[in-house]
Every structure is written in C-alpha cells, then in structure tokens.
Structure 1
C-alpha cells in the first residue's frame, strides 16, 4: 500500500511539472536584463483609511486594494538592439499576475544596445509608490561610454522617460 501511494504521488508530481527538452528554458535567451522595483497600489480601491485597506480587514463590501510592483525587461532583437518592456505585476494570493505589459517606444526609437538596468536602490524597500530606474544604453555599439536614461513612474502611474542628468 505504501509503495503504491508513493508511486502514485511520484507520478502526480512528475505530470504536474512542466517538461523542458534538453537545452530548453522557461526564460527566453533573448532577455538580457530584468529589474523588479518600485510598487503600486490601485488608487480606485484605496480610500485613505489605512486600517480598512489592510487585507485582514477586507470584506465583500470593501476588498483589499490591489497592490504590486513593476518590472523593466530588456529583450535583445535579432539585430543586436534591444526593446525595453515595462510590466505592472499584481501580487496576488496565488502568485504574481501581469496586469499590463508594454514596449517603451521611447527606447525603441533610439535602437539601443542596453548595457544595464538599475533600480533606484537594491534594498528592495521603497517608501513611495512608483518606480525609478536607470537604463544604461549605447546607440552606437562602438561607443566607449553608455548613456543613462531614467524611467520614472509617479504615484499616479504617469510614466516619464528622459535622458539622465548629473
């Protein structure tokens, strides 16, 4: 009985796992940089009452506000340049869920060679909603120094992309 149960459990676990052929990965080899940073909270569901906004106090009448974080992703294209994608990810009880995903056309217009993407800080702690990250890129692959561009999302969700100033 114990062997049958163990065998059945093993089959169940193995059939539930995704199958990858040799050399395959669930993550594309074209992805060169990923940064998860910042946070957002759905303002339509948050009403300013901090006690009412906690998941413990959520009810059918007043659901917990939707919350999550942002991801910036550099994806290498066939010509060597990169597309920069912005995703808004919701943190749900069942795990992360993509709320929105877009290509940042401001970068596409530059036909950049992305050399790095950095968050405002690497501590994982952000005190204000929004996102601040720096994308380092070259528009000429032979250039010695990359340019720095900032991606800023304010607490209202407005996106601003501009060349970094020192």
Structure 2
C-alpha cells in the first residue's frame, strides 16, 4: 500500500511540475479558430498576387527583377474577435526553395462585414494536392448565434479572380 501511495504521489508531482512550466510561444495564435489549406496557383513571377490589394504581405518577389515561375496553394482561415465574431482571411502561400512563404494576405470583406460566427471552413475535397489552378471552399457561419449556420462559397478561378457568395444547394 505504501509503495502504491508513493507511486501515485510521484505521478501527481511529475504531472503538477510539468503543468507549472511556462508556456512557450504558440505556433498558431489561439484566435485562429478554423483554417484550411487547399487549391493551387502558379504564375510567371510577374503576375500580381490575388486580385485584391494585399495588406501586410511578405514579399516573395525575385529581388533581381527576373521573372521566375512561382507556384503554391491558398490558405483560408477565420480569426475570432473579442466580440466572438470572426474575420476571414485568404492567403496565397508560395512554395519556395526554403519552404512555404506568404505571398499575400487579404481579408474577405464580404464575409467579415456580416460579423459572422464562423462554425467551420471546409475545402472542396480532402484528396490532397490539386493539379488545376484555383480554389473552392465553403465557410459555414451564423449571423445570429441562435440560428443554424449558412454555407458561403469562396471560389478562385484559374485567372485568380475571387468570388464570395452564399452557397446554393
């Protein structure tokens, strides 16, 4: 019995001391509540990023000014605000020799203006890499916390034009 009590005390103290360690910097901020990486894009290095003006984007342009083909994927994510509603952002992520790099970030104003309670974000499929340029994803949201969620589609065509609209079934 004494051995069992000693073992239980040791396990408790080890667990307590591990929990008391200072938290490390989070890789993903706690305010990011849903995210999906999907779609595919490519250009010759001289094309503009997504059709809207990027804000705070990290440049992945070639510093010598030479056009070099770029390619990558899109990331769609919701960031929870203090009032529990969300803002939704779209990023173009370039695949570079040193790893992924953010090419541009834009807020999807059509969604954010609704002051939505985002309940999910889903890609068109979960089969992995898509070989055709573009993106299709669905954002599920509520404008009233007591209501059922509605689906909103985000579509980027092969030319990089973004369309955001309420889903029709």
Question: How would you bin the TM-score normalised by the shorter chain?
Answer: 0.7 to 0.9
Residue 161 of structure 2 is aligned to residue 163 of structure 1: no
Is the 8 Å Cα contact of residues 45 and 70 (structure 2) preserved in structure 1? no
Query: For the aligned residues, what is the CA RMSD?
Result: 2.2
TM-score between both structures, scaled by the size of structure 1: 0.73
Structure 1 segment 37-116 matched on structure 2, within 5 A: 37-43=38-44, 64-116=68-120
Over 2 Å off, 4+ runs: 43-46
Q: Which residue of 2 aligns with 1:35?
A: 36
Specify which of 136, 140, 143 is matched with residue 132 of structure 1: 136
**Residue-by-residue CA offset, 1:16-75 (whole Å, 9 max, x unaligned):** xxxxx52541321000011000000015669xxxxxxxxxxxxxxx96510000000100
CA distance in 2, matches of 1:66, 1:104: 23
CA distance in 2, matches of 1:45, 1:102: 19
Q: Which residue of 2 aligns with 1:149?
A: 152
TM-score between both structures, scaled by the size of structure 2: 0.72
CA distance in 2, matches of 1:30, 1:122: 24
Structure 1 portions without partners, runs of 5+: 1-20, 47-61
Is the 8 Å Cα contact of residues 45 and 66 (structure 1) preserved in structure 2? no
